[in-house]
């Protein structure tokens, strides 16, 4: 297969991301999702930073911001709508209200993103002497807590919330840009940003896992944008001629940095998919209900489930062992439903591949990379009688023109 020619730059990447998101989602009829919940930084902030008034330093809350679509500033760091706005409109949903908005209804979703947000909490940066360059404490984990805080406004119980989230779409990011800006804007070398990368990617993965525990099944997890194409970096960093892309004039080493982050994130999400592929996270055989003992199994003979000192895990469906001796309801359900299915599969050998866990075209996911290079990972046990996470991790990370190769990114 011929390698596609790379051209364009950040504009091509943004167009590819938006086209990929809508291509993946538009196949579903409007109304498939009851709500959309969005998390992120200034790229998707719909006004959280200005709900309590406009800070003197914040130029993005003043004209000409917002002029193209709204006709006035809304707190979005753009002249108009953001990617998540297009996604909401694609499903016939209203534009998501900022989660900090007063007297807002969140029955159709909420936007928790806030300008300056990082994947990692601020204390991580403070321990590394970078606290002054991270001025906003609205990290991914803080935003997830904001979600928990408003849950009573649209669901009444733990199970009710899980059911609601199972019919909602979660957009998680992008995250990472501000984490990497912390050392870069402090005048440190790009190597310092590389040192943060494993922590940042793990933080995003941990956040996605927390949302899964809350009941999320369908998630879009974008990667970072090609930073080498942005005027701020092109202005701050000067390179010899060979350091720029021959077609886009972007900084190659910064685009390579973005490519490495996105590749690492893709692997982390694939690992997360494998962990949850049948509804049980791959882990040590830990009891859901028990107490720490001599080993890592959450089992203690002196504090068994139901006895003082023992507690139950937050979500038994993620465990197969209930109390160290017996199974969880979810595990028993798998066994009960698996027997007749196993018999049926044995009878229909020729059709077995169709029963395998694989990308599903009926959910609008391409079975091969789309022209916009939307790399989609579908975690779905879509047979209706099985426990299903139906988690989609759409990693909309790169256009084929720009971030195709990690060895040499031409721009």
Q: What is the mean pLDDT of residues 26-49?
A: 80
pLDDT band at 367 (very low <50, low <70, confident <90, very high): very low
Say if residue 64 is preceded by a cis peptide, omega within 30 of 0: yes
Of 169-173, 271-275, 398-402, the poorest mean pLDDT is in: 398-402
Q: What positions carry a catalytic annotation?
A: 42, 323, 326
Predicted confidence at residue 279, as pLDDT, reads: 54
Fold of 10-46+82-277+358-395: Rossmann fold (3.40.50)
The DSSP H or E segment spanning 289 is strand 289-290
Q: If we measure between CA atoms, which residue out of 215, 87, 193 comes closest to residue 133?
A: 193
Listed by start position, the domains of the chain span 10-46+82-277+358-395, 289-355
pTM for the full model?
0.69
Predicted confidence at residue 361, as pLDDT, reads: 29
Q: In what order do the strands lie in the sheet containing 168-172? A: 109-111, 35-39, 168-172, 218-220, 391-395, 375-379
Q: Residue 286: count other Cβ atoms within 10 Å of its Cβ.
A: 17
Predicted confidence at residue 144, as pLDDT, reads: 97
Q: What percent of the chain has pLDDT over 70?
A: 71
pLDDT, tens only, 23-37: 444 444 444 899 999
User: Looking at per-residue confidence, does 279 or 289 come out higher?
Assistant: 289
pLDDT, tens only, 236-279: 898 999 999 988 889 999 999 999 999 999 999 888 877 765 55
Predicted confidence at residue 165, as pLDDT, reads: 95
User: Looking at per-residue confidence, does 268 or 356 come out higher?
Assistant: 268
Q: What is the mean pLDDT of residues 330-353?
A: 47
User: Looking at per-residue confidence, does 5 or 128 come out higher?
Assistant: 128
User: Looking at per-residue confidence, does 104 or 284 come out higher?
Assistant: 104
Q: What is the mean pLDDT of residues 160-181?
A: 94
Q: What is the mean pLDDT of residues 8-32?
A: 47
pLDDT band at 316 (very low <50, low <70, confident <90, very high): confident
Predicted confidence at residue 243, as pLDDT, reads: 93
pLDDT band at 5 (very low <50, low <70, confident <90, very high): very low
Alpha-carbon gap, residue 203 to 226, rounded angstroms: 20
Alpha-carbon gap, residue 181 to 125, rounded angstroms: 11
Q: If we measure between CA atoms, which residue out of 254, 263, 257 comes closest to residue 232?
A: 254
């Amino acid at each position: 297969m011929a390698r596609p020619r790379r051209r364009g730059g950040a504009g091509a990447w943004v167009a590819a991301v938006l086209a990929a998101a809508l291509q993946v989602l538009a196949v579903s009829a409007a109304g498939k999702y009851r709500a959309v919940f969005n998390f992120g930084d200034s790229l998707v902030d719909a006004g959280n930073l200005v709900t309590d008034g406009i800070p003197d330093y914040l130029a993005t809350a003043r004209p000409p911001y917002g002029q193209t679509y709204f006709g006035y500033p809304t707190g979005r760091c753009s002249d108009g709508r953001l990617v998540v706005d297009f996604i909401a409109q694609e499903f016939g949903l209203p534009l998501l209200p900022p989660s900090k908005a007063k007297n807002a209804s969140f029955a159709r979703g909420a936007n928790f993103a806030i300008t300056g947000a990082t994947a990692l909490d601020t204390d991580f940066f403070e321990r590394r002497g970078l606290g002054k360059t991270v001025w906003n404490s609205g990290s991914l984990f803080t935003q997830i807590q904001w979600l928990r805080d408003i849950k009573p406004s649209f669901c009444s119980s733990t199970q009710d919330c899980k059911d609601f989230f199972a019919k909602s779409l979660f957009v998680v990011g992008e995250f990472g840009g501000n984490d990497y800006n912390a050392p870069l804007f402090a005048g440190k070398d790009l190597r310092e940003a590389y040192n943060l990368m494993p922590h940042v990617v793990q933080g995003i993965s941990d956040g996605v896992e927390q949302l899964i525990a809350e009941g999320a099944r369908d998630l879009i997890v974008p990667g970072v944008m090609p930073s080498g194409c942005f005027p701020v970096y092109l202005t701050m960093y000067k390179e010899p001629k060979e350091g720029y892309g021959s077609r886009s004039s972007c900084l190659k080493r910064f685009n390579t940095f973005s490519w490495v982050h996105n590749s690492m994130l893709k692997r982390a999400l694939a690992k997360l998919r494998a962990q949850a592929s049948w509804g049980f996270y791959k882990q040590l055989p830990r009891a859901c209900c028990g107490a720490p003992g001599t080993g890592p199994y959450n089992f203690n003979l002196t504090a068994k489930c139901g006895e003082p000192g023992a507690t139950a895990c937050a979500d038994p469906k993620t465990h197969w062992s209930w109390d160290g001796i017996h199974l969880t309801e979810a595990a028993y359900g798998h066994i009960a439903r698996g027997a007749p299915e196993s018999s049926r599969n044995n009878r229909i050998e020729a059709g077995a591949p169709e029963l395998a866990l694989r990308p599903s075209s009926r959910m609008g996911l391409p079975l091969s990379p789309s022209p916009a290079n939307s790399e989609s990972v579908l975690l779905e046990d879509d047979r209706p009688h099985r426990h299903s996470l139906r988690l989609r991790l759409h990693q909309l990370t790169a256009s084929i023109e720009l971030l195709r190769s990690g060895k040499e990114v031409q721009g």
